[in-house]
Amino acid sequence: MSEEKTLEEVYTDRNLLALAAAEMAVRLHLALGPPESAYFDGGWYRPEADDADAGEWGVVSLETPEGQASWHVPIDLARRSHLTETVPDWDGHTRQVKNDRLRRFTGLDY
């Protein structure tokens, strides 16, 4: 890299990537017919009221053939995105499980 990024810049990049990935999953869901369309979808939701992240954060989630992945992003970004607000549907995955799913989905299963 030619220039160092601030932590805020890194998180901005990460948040936009999470939103873009979820948007692409939604578009795949709409473009594919059954049964393939069932493997892709996305949206965002507000954390449960008793969640420490409620109010300030939204959760962007997407479905892949390997399973669900989700990220907390500032709620104002989620609201302004093209993604539809959905009901909370977190499947209980941990960060490790999410990353394992993403590795398999991208062919980096190690």
pLDDT (tens digit per residue) in 32-69? 999 999 999 999 999 876 666 678 999 999 999 999 99
Q: Which residue has the higher pLDDT, 51 or 4?
A: 4
Cβ atoms of 19 and 77 closer than 8 Å: yes
Model confidence at 1: pLDDT above 60: no
pTM of the predicted protein model: 0.88
- Band of residue 109 on the pLDDT scale cut at 50, 70, 90: confident
Across the range 10-14, mean pLDDT stands at 97
